[in-house]
Structure 1
Amino acid sequence: MELYYSFSILIILAAIFSYINVRFLKFPSTIGIMIIALIMSIILVLLGSLTSKPLNDIASLIKEFDFTEILMGCMLNFLLFAGAIHINMSDLKEQRLPVIIFSTLGVIISAIVVGAGLYYTSNYLLPLINVHTEIPLIYCLLFGALISPTDPIAVLSILKQANVSKSLETKIAGESLLNDGVAVVLFAVLANLAYNPVVVATGRMDLSFAHIFDLFLREAVGGLLLGAALGYLAAYAIRTSHDYKVAVLITLAVVMGGYLIASSLHTSAPLAMVGAGLIIGESRRKLGTNKNSSVSTFWELIDEVMNAILFLFMGFQLLLIDDLIHYWLLGIICIIIVLFARFISIKIPTIIIPFKEKFSKGTIAVLVWGGLRGGVSIALALSVPESDYKETIIAVTYVVVVFSILVQGLTVGKVAKDIQ
């Protein structure tokens, strides 16, 4: 029952914060909830200097939940499916080349640039001003891998509020849905290199192209193929069921059962949900109005509720970071590094690859500023095994994510409007 009580408290807080945001702040719902949670976290930290009880009580509640497992093993699958089911496949096909390039080559370029930038900053730049947070190169690259993918949850929720063109929205949304596979492979390889006892002892790891390509095929391609198979099977069942309640149950079964299958096959469950959602969504558009609207309404509700809980979680994660103020300078520098890396990861492909569509400076600006980081990066940072550098990675990741969601998320619509 403890889990039930804890989850009930989170739902109650999400409802209260949502009401406060809609009634007074009037921000996009996810951003408003996160702002209120951050303010509450700061108040609790300040109260903690007087009496530790309220701080310890809330911190204990947050610690009861394994954020990485909850997000990566449950919520992400629901949220990705809910996002993918509303994307038009014909729009995505038109933008398939930039989406594929930005979600693969772009992530790799960004991870390398971020890793190099953090390594130079922590080991050479900050010591000049007597700030010592030296981080080995492998951990810098690990941070680059976890912070480089744009977060599909943050991106999709913010794009609903931003006034961007359809083609640009498809590029950003499509990339954010697909780039998890590459990021997971990079993160897994680098984490094994950093933490595997055999690798640490011998200094040897299989970094051959064949091994990494095999990981990518199993995680990314395997996940998408599994999702496609589940999607076609579910779409057929929905078409022949002629019952909207059964249609909703089928989509739930795809998400929950698909995760179990993907886990047993060691493929990417999030990408499987993207593949299934895209195919079911495309099939859904050809169905009758009642079935179409019922499934759509159900997944919009799921999307809203889980987004509210997720961003509430992210706001309260501040309570779990000791001495965040100690990392403020490195965090601010990393914000600049991540934005620069995002620019490079977009600019280089547009120069070397002959896209049919020319990328203007304005389009690149929106792609850079609209590349939000969110819960996926925090979850990966929290999943980093214990080491002397874990707290630094978590704190810096949190600073970048908060800036990304609050500053970039609130201004991406204005940036898009100014270039149009």
Structure 2
Amino acid sequence: MGSYLLLQVLTVVFLLSISTTLFNKKILNFPAAIGVPIISALLVFLLQWAASLFNSSDIISVNIDKIEETVRKFNFYDFLINGVICFILMASALKFKVSDLKKYWKPIGILASLALVFCAVFFAGLLYGFQWLIGHKVELLVLLLLGAALGATDPIGIKGVLSSVKAPHHLMVKLEGESLFNDAMCIALFMTILNIIQGDHITVGHVMSHLFMEIFVAFLIGLVVGNLALWVLKQQHEMESLIMTTAVLASGSYLLALFANASAPIACVIAGLVVGNKWHEVVAARDIEEVNHFWHTLEGIINAFLFTLIGLELFIIDLSKELVLGGVVAFLILHLSRFAANFLAFAFFPSVARKSYNGSLAILSWGGVRGGISLALILAVANFDVLHPYSDILIGYAFICVLLSGVVCGLGLPQVMNAFYYNPDEPKTGLMGWYQRMCHRMNLRKVQYIIEEDSKGNEVISIYDPSALMKDKKNPDAGHPEKTIKDVETEVQRLENPDNF
């Protein structure tokens, strides 16, 4: 009759995904990337508690060992990195406008490259000091590997959070743009550090030339495959063939890049950008809308599946008090490192930093939520012989950082947004009101924006209360004697400049 193991696993995980998704939607109403892993983790805790409760019962028996063994056997890396990630990237790339990339390529490029490296280095250094203080030393390269894995941002939950508030278009573009290219750089950096840990003698020059070749070859593959897909789209316009062409575009570009030892995520993203920004010339607008709807649905299914699996990873983590405390400290260090890395990276580009909207970097730094890619990378290598002594720390810290970044950064982002973008409905009382007041302290300039639309429906960002620019920061009740109305008008024009990143 054959084995039904795969079908059983798929059925159970899909049932869990449906249950956690519905519970989150009806009860918590959190963004899926935040709510589903939390509910899955709670479900695992309940299941483990029930197993211990009915351990000696003749009526109900829950075999936790078998469940744990099944979870351990599941190849998270192959499922995500060598599997469905190409479809997740394609879903975003097809909808991402090249015009937005051209406008914001500098901040996106800085966030996805230099800031990523700085964050990994800061994180590894600070966490190394913490581990040394508690008497449980971990090799610096191992912590650098963890920092590289946790560099991958997950904008899916953040987009869900920002959709509930009036977020400016430029922030949405930068969050999504960073994720498209950040994941590729993160994987490349992760694999380079892993090779060094495994004993490869690699110089800085070798690393840089290798990364350049990976990116360059991936760019060429994405360009060629994307234009080939456009030619195919010209020949046939049935809905089924349109969907299959874009599916092959995702998996084909990714697979070719893997065979060429190039950056597969970048190849997939470039291919998607080429098609997504030119297919309106050869495909009807209604058909494009239908295909995008398919990709949006597929992305939702994959993410529900993925977030459920993240919660189930609790089965293979021995959460001791020391590990939980270390994980919380690692999250705080990661959060601090992202802020420091972003501000330092932009300090090297003063012409870009000067043009930033008030609070842009603070919001982007806070919005660096970690997701499935970070955990998948760690799960894939934690049991390697050279990393096996640190497997509990690697998996435990990564899991706690991913979970806390969703809860703290994801759910707290609207309040950080309110500190810089005026929201009359912001919480003013209770615990959330106190938290909102704390967030307002991040706005050192005390300048808030308001988002409006002009007569053509275009977004316009203007200063909510220009008179705040005349107030003395040390004595808010007194006007600043050195600032004239003309000075304030000049400052307002600079702050409201639509060319700001």
When normalised by structure 2's length, the TM-score is: 0.77
Asked if structure 1 preserves the Cα contact closer than 8 Å seen for 2:34 and 2:157, the reply is no
Asked if structure 1 preserves the Cα contact closer than 8 Å seen for 2:222 and 2:266, the reply is yes
Q: Give secondary structure in 2 for the equivalent of 1:95.
A: helix
Q: CA deviation at 1:160?
A: 4.8
Asked if structure 2 preserves the Cα contact closer than 8 Å seen for 1:181 and 1:216, the reply is no
Q: Distance in 1 between matches of 2:174 and 2:164?
A: 16
Q: Does 1:79 align with 2:88?
A: yes
Q: Does 1:170 align with 2:159?
A: no
- Relative to structure 1, is the Cα distance of residues 175 and 274 closer, same or farther in structure 2, using a 3 angstrom cutoff? same
Q: Does 1:310 align with 2:306?
A: yes
Asked if structure 2 preserves the Cα contact closer than 8 Å seen for 1:110 and 1:345, the reply is yes
Asked if structure 1 preserves the Cα contact closer than 8 Å seen for 2:34 and 2:403, the reply is no
Q: Does 1:365 align with 2:374?
A: no
Q: CA deviation at 1:90?
A: 0.8
Asked if structure 1 preserves the Cα contact closer than 8 Å seen for 2:184 and 2:264, the reply is no
Q: CA deviation at 1:298?
A: 0.7
Q: Distance in 2 between matches of 1:34 and 1:163?
A: 26
**Aligned twin of 1:381:** 378
Equivalent of 1:298, from 294, 305, 312?
294
Q: CA deviation at 1:377?
A: 0.8
**Aligned twin of 2:411:** 410
**Aligned twin of 2:468:** none
Asked if structure 2 preserves the Cα contact closer than 8 Å seen for 1:148 and 1:338, the reply is no
**Aligned twin of 2:266:** 271
**Aligned twin of 1:119:** 128
Structure 1 alignment gaps of length 5 or more: 127-131, 200-204
**Aligned twin of 2:146:** 143
Q: Distance in 1 between matches of 2:191 and 2:32?
A: 33
Deviations 1:138-192 (A, max 9, x none): 1121112111232355555555555421111111211111022322232222212
Bigger helix fraction: 1
Deviations 1:201-239 (A, max 9, x none): xxxx12131x11232123333223312221222123223
Q: How does 1:193-204 map to 2 (within 5 A)?
A: 193-196=196-199, 199=200
Equivalent of 2:119, from 110, 119, 139?
110
Asked if structure 1 preserves the Cα contact closer than 8 Å seen for 2:32 and 2:157, the reply is no
Q: CA deviation at 1:40?
A: 0.3
How many residue pairs match? The answer is 406
**Aligned twin of 2:215:** 220
Q: Distance in 1 between matches of 2:33 and 2:152?
A: 19
**Aligned twin of 1:390:** 391
Q: Distance in 1 between matches of 2:246 and 2:169?
A: 26
Q: How does 1:310-329 map to 2 (within 5 A)?
A: 310-329=306-325
> Greater CA deviation, 47-56 or 10-19?
47-56
Q: Distance in 2 between matches of 1:156 and 1:78?
A: 18
Q: How does 1:8-27 map to 2 (within 5 A)?
A: 8-27=11-30
Q: Give secondary structure in 1 for the equivalent of 2:278.
A: helix
Deviations 1:74-126 (A, max 9, x none): 12111111111121221121000111111111111111111111111111x32
> Greater CA deviation, 283-292 or 390-399?
283-292
- Relative to structure 1, is the Cα distance of residues 244 and 356 closer, same or farther in structure 2, using a 3 angstrom cutoff? farther
Asked if structure 1 preserves the Cα contact closer than 8 Å seen for 2:31 and 2:157, the reply is no
Q: Does 1:56 align with 2:53?
A: no
Q: Give secondary structure in 2 for the equivalent of 1:373.
A: coil
Q: How does 1:13-52 map to 2 (within 5 A)?
A: 13-50=16-53, 51=55
* The structure with more radius of gyration: 2
Deviations 1:351-378 (A, max 9, x none): 2202176235521211111111111110
**Aligned twin of 1:202:** none
Deviations 1:304-342 (A, max 9, x none): 100100100111111111234431121111111111111
One-letter code aligned to 2:399? Y
Among the aligned pairs, what percent are the same residue?
Answer: 28
Q: Distance in 1 between matches of 2:146 and 2:353?
A: 33
**Aligned twin of 1:334:** 330
**Aligned twin of 1:129:** none
Asked if structure 1 preserves the Cα contact closer than 8 Å seen for 2:196 and 2:202, the reply is no
Over the aligned positions, Cα root-mean-square deviation in angstroms equals 2.1
Asked if structure 2 preserves the Cα contact closer than 8 Å seen for 1:155 and 1:176, the reply is no
One-letter code aligned to 1:151? D
Asked if structure 1 preserves the Cα contact closer than 8 Å seen for 2:149 and 2:374, the reply is yes
> Greater CA deviation, 360-369 or 311-320?
360-369
- Relative to structure 1, is the Cα distance of residues 2 and 361 closer, same or farther in structure 2, using a 3 angstrom cutoff? same
Deviations 1:44-103 (A, max 9, x none): 232343338343343233234211110111121111111111212211210001111111
